Chains A and B, each alone.
Chain A
Amino acid sequence: MDNRFEYLEHTADAKFRAYGRSLEEVFENAAYAMFNVMIDTSTVAAEISHEIELSSEDMDGLLFNWLSEILFVFEVESLVFSKFIVDRIEQDEGGCRLFARAMGEDINLSKHKFGTEVKAATYNDMKIESTPAGWMIQATVDT
């Protein structure tokens, strides 16, 4: 099992916990966990870099936007990803901002092994926590 994330039981949807040493890293691993629901990421080469910049009123909103944006780019640009790099997350009175890159390649149905289609990110039972061991994100995605 990958120590970056683990899947939890949920009857209808996919629920996971991601871990990281920093807020940036736990956001990276949350995206990675979600993408692994959809595709075997070991079949995806990290050839193309797609820049993503987002903002939100609060951290939950930023996570929701981040996961939603990756799903949007996947569907509209026909890109699949295997690596996420969050360069920086900023938080102040004005809200939260994220600067990141998603690395992957064009969809190739003969090469990529797809799993379950993720329809959307949700706020359901969402958690972003700082623990003595590092950061933890819990999220549920609609499948």
Chain B
Amino acid sequence: MSEENESSVFNMLKKISDNIWEVPMDYKPGMRVPGRIFVSEHLLSILEKETIDQVANVAMLPGIQKYSMAMPDAHLGYGFSIGGVAAFDKEKGVISPGGVGFDINCGVRLVRSNLSEKDVRPRLSKLLDDLFETIPTGVGSKSRLKVSDAELDDIFVNGVQWAVDNGYGVQEDVDHCESGGNIPGADPSKVSVKARKRGRPQIGTLGSGNHFLEVQYVDKIYDEKAASVFGLREGQVTFMIHCGSRGAGHQICTDHLQILTQASRKYNISLPDKQLACAPAQSPEAQDYFKAMLCAANYAWVNRHVIMHWTREVFENTFSKEFGDLGMHLVYDVAHNIAKLEEHTVDGRKAEMYVHRKGATRAFAPGHPDLPEDYRDTGQPVIIPGSMGTPSYVLCSTKAAMDISFGSACHGAGRVMSRKSAKHELHGEQVREELGLMGIQVRASQPSLIAEEAPAVYKSSSEVVDVVHELGIATKVARLLPMGVIKG
């Protein structure tokens, strides 16, 4: 970034502490609350001005509580910035698809094993080939799991429980998903025929872009106590799945964005950006979107669950043992594009509000009733995927997150280079070779995709995670290094 950009960004914001920067109310006319951007000085110096504009835009929406926030991995999005978090009063606030995004309940899940890096390394190449063969990836890929319309309804309403009831995974998996992999209140009658058509053939497909399945190993433990509660130890092999609700979610957002664009006019809500279309939280338009959005959220949990099931099967075949004997337990699954009705305390008053997280991970405090029993005293695992060549992290939530960020943390490293520049400046085959030298094998349908998602296009995941750790929103538990990755 140029020096000019640096000075202008710093002049616009008020420094609250080392990692907290305020977007003042007079930054843009019409802001109802200030903005809060959680970044280090260095991360701020590489933030686009437009990202700050997006934080300010969200601050103009009716019923917003406390601050319009951006997590340390914030970057330019559409509507909300990526890394944007905002809570709106249940009665006087709004619900906006722009605060969730098109890939509803895009998220990550982490599965551990009792295999060591040494067990897996010699068989890695074949393992990745088999995973790439088994898990449908890439543009236009279809699943071998075919569901009927009635089953799709069941998936929309019951989420991961549907998968377990139908032979995918085991009951203990359900407890280790955020919200039990199933948010109540989903209503399939609010989902269009188009969204159903797109969703039906795609359950158990990874998709494209930044989505991946990665085989990793635990390279460092920061917090022995929390690590042992999450079942993590040094040298252990894990795998991570990053994907969302595929065409079903994209279409549900597309459909309801049009309805809410008209609703914004009907309810006289002035919008700083058309992509922030919204309606009063209790209006039929907002509630219809919310109920359809929950269908996509539940669908996404099933999607990751089925991919996990097939991955366990590939490990079973490779190591000639049942996945239970391989210790392949689900550590946790978190959503990072979602809106939820949650209880938070603002100005000493407990109230329900619609928390929107767009590229942000929920990080609920220890003791919260939504946490599974075995983690309740310790805290919620917060899973932060890195990019292809960089580490991923497991963190543990703290009480502070509830006060600072409505129980939210970052969701990844955050891009710094556009796909366009990446394809121009980097070459897929060369990136593949460089990763190979680092011991990381890649399987991808297109070399250009490797360039687009190369380590150089992302901020350092370590730097982003350090801000979360220093702020005390969540603290570091373990670092995971990639061994092999499959991508669309």
- Are chains A and B native binding partners rather than an unrelated pairing? yes
Interface residues in chain A, defined as those with a beta carbon under 8 Å from any beta carbon in chain B: 7, 9-14, 38-39, 56-57, 60-61, 64-65, 68, 71-72, 74-76, 78, 107, 109, 113-117, 119-126, 140, 142-143
Stretch from B63-71, B220-228, B269-277, B315-323 contacting the other chain: B269-277
Stretch from B326-334, B417-425, B469-477 contacting the other chain: B417-425
Chain B residues, CB < 8 A from A9: 418, 420-421
Give the 5 A-B residue pairs with the shortest CB-CB distance, closest first: A124-B78, A117-B208, A123-B274, A120-B102, A122-B78
Partner of B274 from the list A12, A57, A126 (CB cut-off 8 Å) is: A126
- Interchain CB contact under 8 A, A61 and B258: yes
> With the chains together, A54 CA to B420 CA distance in Å?
31
> With the chains together, A120 CA to B76 CA distance in Å?
16
**What are 19 residue pairs bridging A and B, where the CB atoms are less than 8 Å apart in the complex?**
A7-B420, A9-B420, A10-B76, A12-B76, A39-B139, A61-B261, A68-B254, A72-B251, A115-B448, A116-B209, A116-B419, A116-B448, A117-B138, A119-B102, A120-B102, A120-B253, A123-B273, A123-B274, A124-B79
Q: Is B103 an interface residue (CB 8 A)?
A: yes
- Interchain CB contact under 8 A, A116 and B452: yes
- Interchain CB contact under 8 A, A117 and B209: yes
Chain B residues, CB < 8 A from A116: 208-209, 419, 448-449, 452
Chain B residues, CB < 8 A from A56: 258
Given known contacts A38-B139, A64-B258, A124-B79, is B275 in contact with A11 (CB within 8 Å)?
no
Closest-by-CB residue of A relative to B261 is: A61
Chain A residues, CB < 8 A from B445: 114
- Interchain CB contact under 8 A, B419 and A114: no
Given known contacts A123-B261, A142-B102, is B274 in contact with A114 (CB within 8 Å)?
no
Closest-by-CB residue of B relative to A124 is: B78
Given known contacts A115-B448, A117-B139, is B77 in contact with A12 (CB within 8 Å)?
yes
Given known contacts A61-B261, A65-B258, is B75 in contact with A12 (CB within 8 Å)?
yes
Chain A residues, CB < 8 A from B257: 64, 123
**Interface core residue of B139, B198, B207 (most chain A CB under 10 Å):** B139
Chain A residues, CB < 8 A from B207: 117
Interface residues in chain B, defined as those with a beta carbon under 8 Å from any beta carbon in chain A: 48, 75-79, 82, 101-103, 138-140, 194, 197-198, 207-209, 247, 250-251, 253-254, 257-258, 261-262, 273-275, 277, 415-421, 445-446, 448-449, 452, 488
Chain B residues, CB < 8 A from A71: 250
Chain B residues, CB < 8 A from A142: 78, 101-103, 250
Partner of A10 from the list B140, B254, B258, B418 (CB cut-off 8 Å) is: B418
Closest CB-CB distance, A52 to chain B, in whole Å?
Answer: 13
Closest-by-CB residue of A relative to B449 is: A116
Closest CB-CB distance, B303 to chain A, in whole Å?
Answer: 14
Closest-by-CB residue of B relative to A12 is: B415
- Interchain CB contact under 8 A, B488 and A124: no
- Interchain CB contact under 8 A, A11 and B417: yes
Chain B residues, CB < 8 A from A78: 140
> With the chains together, A72 CA to B250 CA distance in Å?
10
- Interchain CB contact under 8 A, B258 and A75: no
Chain A residues, CB < 8 A from B250: 71, 119-120, 142
Partner of A72 from the list B194, B258, B262, B274 (CB cut-off 8 Å) is: B194
Chain A residues, CB < 8 A from B251: 72
**Interface core residue of A38, A39, A143 (most chain B CB under 10 Å):** A143
> With the chains together, A60 CA to B198 CA distance in Å?
24
Chain A residues, CB < 8 A from B258: 56, 61, 64-65
Partner of B138 from the list A114, A119, A123 (CB cut-off 8 Å) is: A114
User: Given A56-B258, A109-B140, A124-B78, 4 other A-B contacts at CB below 8 A?
Assistant: A114-B140, A117-B208, A120-B250, A125-B273
- Interchain CB contact under 8 A, B139 and A114: yes
Chain A residues, CB < 8 A from B140: 74-75, 78, 107, 109, 114
> With the chains together, A122 CA to B261 CA distance in Å?
12
Closest-by-CB residue of B relative to A77 is: B197
- Interchain CB contact under 8 A, B277 and A119: no
Partner of A13 from the list B78, B138, B449 (CB cut-off 8 Å) is: B78
Chain B residues, CB < 8 A from A61: 258, 261
- Interchain CB contact under 8 A, B446 and A12: no
Closest CB-CB distance, B57 to chain A, in whole Å?
Answer: 11
